[in-house]
Amino acid sequence: MKVLLPFLRLFRRQWLMMSIGMLLTVITLAAGIGLLSLSGWFLSAAAVAGLSGVAMNYFTPAGGVRGFSIARTASRYGERLMTHEATFRILTDLRQWAWKSLLPLSERNLAGMRRADLLNRLVADIDTLDHLYLRLLTPLAAFVVMLLCLFGFIGWLDLTLALILCGGLLSAWLVLPLAFYRLGKQPGMAVLNGRRQYRIGLLAWLSGQAELALFGASKAQRAKLDADEQRWLASQRAMAAVTGLSQAALIVFHGTILLLMLWFAADGVGSHIPPGPMMAVPVFCALAVFEMMMPLAGAFQHLSSCLLAAERVSELTQQQADIVFPVESNAHVSHGDIQLQGIEFAYQPQQPILQQLNLHLHAGSKVALLGKTGCGKSTLLALLTRQWQAQAGKILLDGTPVEQFTETQLRDAITVVSQRVALLAGTLRDNLQMASLSKISDERLAAVLEQVGLAHLLQGQGLNSWIGEGGRQLSGGEQRRIGVARALLRDAPILLLDEPTEGLDRRTEQEILKLLLAHAANKTLLMISHRLTGMAQMDQIHLLDGGQIVASGSHTELLANEPAYSALYKKLH
């Protein structure tokens, strides 16, 4: 249960709305019990008065019935409104809290976690936690308050009947939640795990269609996905069976309490012997308490899934960030001078990626870093942007260790253009505006789109054009040009290019590199690539192999003195 404490503390932010929701729930239950009890007494008293010919005041109880009816309707509406609004706000707070806890985490913190699993934790698991308020806290708190009120009211009429009714309800409150927590524990966890496994499998199946078709594995993967779905459905059926059993147990408990109340009330209610119409009050009151008993079993039936969801979310939120940025700093990058001194890095122990790497990029220089896949080129960029932390060595920007920059200062100093461009489901304007925290005029955005060859996207709705989830309405080349447009909208002194033209045709590749090199005229540029396009415009080219730089020089020097570079150039050209 301790795993729920951080989430319960967050609920305090919405304590007022939660309290109002609980109060309205109590009023709704009280009005429902009062309505049925008063109606039962009123009908019984009216029948007795009619048979005996005794005069009776019909107006007061009739007004009470109407009053309880109106109060129950109004409080039910208000209760649903307030409890659901409180739940939505709590979920909003939970998501914001989870995202704020997630943002400082580095790649090392999230290493090994699949994207679908991460998405499931941030969406489905947090959604599951709404049971804490709607199905656990509110029903149980309302039950306890109503139990005390019932004991006071029925005890005022007859203490024995109050003990029978409230004792039975208290037994149900103690027995049913514990019993159905145990019965629902395994199915609840199975439902949550089944949903997670199916979501991971579905995302993998959808994203890997090309590879699955290429290797003829589509049917096998689909069969595995169907098997995951059947297991998930089986766990849902098991949970539905527990739900049905809980309702049956509630009916048995309630029927037993009602029979006991009817039996003992028949002997008299307080000083009313024989009981007469007064017998209807405690009996109908016992009949009406079924509404407050209904959430009992369900409240703890879903507790196991809440606990598992809380554990999975806490695995993210309770992590300590592997890379910590200073809160304040006077450091500033104005020139873009980069020095790497004795850098050593490995993702796994005894498997070094970079070994005693030394590299100096003078301010304003244009440098290319070449090497085969896995030699550490992208890793080097990740170290510069502090996605990972080197195990040894120093990285200096304008002579200042990179660890002394705040995250904002570091992000403002560096622009990164990678081969994968992240596009959001939004408009062209939204996706371009991401390049800067400050407002960029529409004229500037349109000019940059024309500059990168995307003027045709301005036709129709212009900057309000919807590009779809992940930019699905754009071609691969257009998506890459959006990434270049973002880079042109930034004025950072350092420009890092992570294979920005990979997979593009030669003409598009040359156009993009020309734009980027023109933009980086007065900036420090570091480009990593497998290809040799644009190498003649580089001030220095370094060949990386085995975690170390094995050759350096200009394009002309390497062609003349480095056989491997010369052979690669002839092969690609």
Query: What is the mean pLDDT of the segment spanning 367-377?
Result: 84
Helix axes 303-317, 290-301, angle to 10 degrees: 50
If we measure between CA atoms, which residue out of 127, 126, 135, 130 comes closest to residue 184?
135
pLDDT of residue 104: 82
Does 572 score more than 90 pLDDT? no
> How does pLDDT run across 525-536, given as a tens digit for each residue?
999 887 787 888
pLDDT of residue 329: 85
Query: What is the mean pLDDT of the segment spanning 119-140?
Result: 80
pLDDT band at 562 (very low <50, low <70, confident <90, very high): confident
pLDDT of residue 514: 85
Average pLDDT, the chain: 85
The HSE-up count of residue 184 (CA atoms within 13 Å, CB side) is 29
The HSE-up count of residue 78 (CA atoms within 13 Å, CB side) is 19
pLDDT of residue 69: 92
> How does pLDDT run across 266-278, given as a tens digit for each residue?
887 877 777 778 8
Does 569 score more than 80 pLDDT? no
pLDDT of residue 100: 85
User: Residue 552: beta bridge partners?
Assistant: 542
Query: What 3-state class would DSSP assign to 361?
Result: strand
Asked if 410 and 325 touch (Cβ cutoff 8 Å), the reply is yes
pLDDT band at 183 (very low <50, low <70, confident <90, very high): confident
CA distance 135 to 133: 6
Q: Measured at the alpha carbon of residue 184, what is the angle toward residues 179 and 188, in degrees to the nearest 5?
A: 160
Asked if 111 and 64 touch (Cβ cutoff 8 Å), the reply is no
Query: What 3-state class would DSSP assign to 112?
Result: coil
pLDDT of residue 230: 93
pLDDT of residue 339: 92
Does 148 score more than 70 pLDDT? yes
Asked if 375 and 546 touch (Cβ cutoff 8 Å), the reply is yes
What percentage of the chain reaches a pLDDT higher than 70? 98
Does 374 score more than 80 pLDDT? no
pLDDT of residue 259: 92
pLDDT of residue 301: 64
CA distance 225 to 202: 7
> How does pLDDT run across 377-431, given as a tens digit for each residue?
888 888 999 888 888 999 999 989 999 999 888 988 999 888 788 888 888 888 8
pLDDT band at 517 (very low <50, low <70, confident <90, very high): confident
Strand order in the sheet with 338-348: 351-361, 338-348, 392-397, 400-401
Q: What are the counts of helices (DSSP H) followed by strands (DSSP E) for the chain?
A: 22, 10
What are the chain's domains?
Answer: 2-104+111-317 (1.20.1560.10), 338-572 (3.40.50.300)
> How does pLDDT run across 40-64, given as a tens digit for each residue?
888 888 887 777 777 777 788 888 8
Query: What is the mean pLDDT of the segment spanning 462-491?
Result: 83
Query: What is the mean pLDDT of the segment spanning 181-203?
Result: 84
Does 234 score more than 90 pLDDT? yes
